[in-house]
A and B are shown apart, each in its own frame.
Chain A
Amino acid sequence: MLRLTTTAGQPTTVGDVTVTPEARAFVVRLPFAGFVWNWPTAVHVQRAGEVQHLRIVDVSRVAQLGLLAATLLLVLLGRGVDARRKEKRDD
């Protein structure tokens, strides 16, 4: 029903360099519905017997999550400050 798979794409050879992309997929399969989220994760570069792994970072997603985390942090900090002020006032 729920599946997380890592798959390698078609290798591309240019000169002495072979590039193999890698993707990860999250699949939800129900009898009458389905959902797939597939995203690229890395590139394997093979040159002269050496393999190099290059990560693929989704900058837009990282920025979005960063903004969300910053907002949550500021909200929590604000609540903490408010609670401390209230405590002082009550004392």
Chain B
Amino acid sequence: MTETLPTFVERNTAQLPQLLDKILAAARPGAVFSEPVRSGDYTVITASEVTAGGGFGSGFGSGPAPAGRATGTGESGSASATQPSEAGGGGFGGGGGSHGRPVAVIVIGPDGVRVRPVVDVTKIGLAAVTTWLAMIAIFRRRMRRRRAARTA
């Protein structure tokens, strides 16, 4: 049993809302807050930032079959008479991704409830290095301009 391309695309397109719902499920609070973990007198809940996204696309087209392959008239009565006079192609594709990063830890203990931030040293370090490199580049350009202005 074979499936025609438009039917295949139509069937998959009909499933898109369900797939999108699965991606957008990252919007519920359960995706951000972990299950409470108990250890002794302390209970810990991790709070994370979650991002998710995805997209899908499909397309198909048809046109006259390449010359010599399709007669489609059936005049000769040969095997070529059964060949289609039209040819087509298409495709269906999609992609997506998600990312999570811990932001803080909620600690419930005998001394009360505390929110402890989680510091992403790598993220801050990379931002700092990028900032410094940009500053150095700007400073050097300014110095070069000043030198050029003095010599002029």
Asked if A21 and B29 sit within 8 Å, CB to CB, the answer is yes
> For chain A, what secondary structure do more than half of its interface residues adopt (helix, strand, loop), or is it mixed?
strand
Asked if B47 and A17 sit within 8 Å, CB to CB, the answer is no
- Residues on B facing A (Cβ under 8 Å): 16, 20, 23-24, 26-33, 36, 43, 45, 47-57, 101, 103-104, 106, 108, 112-113, 115, 117-120, 123-124, 127-128, 131, 134-135, 138, 142, 145, 149
List the B side residues contacting A34 at CB < 8 Å.
20, 23-24, 53-55
Considering the chains assembled together, what is the distance between the CA atoms of A71 and B28 in angstroms? 35
Considering the chains assembled together, what is the distance between the CA atoms of A5 and B53 in angstroms? 17
Counting residue pairs across A and B whose Cβ atoms lie within 8 Å, the total is 148
| Number of A positions contacting B (CB below 8 A) | 47
Contact of B108 among A12, A30, A33 (CB under 8 A): A12
List the B side residues contacting A60 at CB < 8 Å.
101, 103, 118-120, 123-124
Considering the chains assembled together, what is the distance between the CA atoms of A33 and B134 in angstroms? 35
List the B side residues contacting A45 at CB < 8 Å.
112-113
Asked if A40 and B33 sit within 8 Å, CB to CB, the answer is yes
Asked if A71 and B106 sit within 8 Å, CB to CB, the answer is no
Q: Answer whether residue A83 sits at the interface, using C-beta atoms and an 8 A cutoff.
A: no
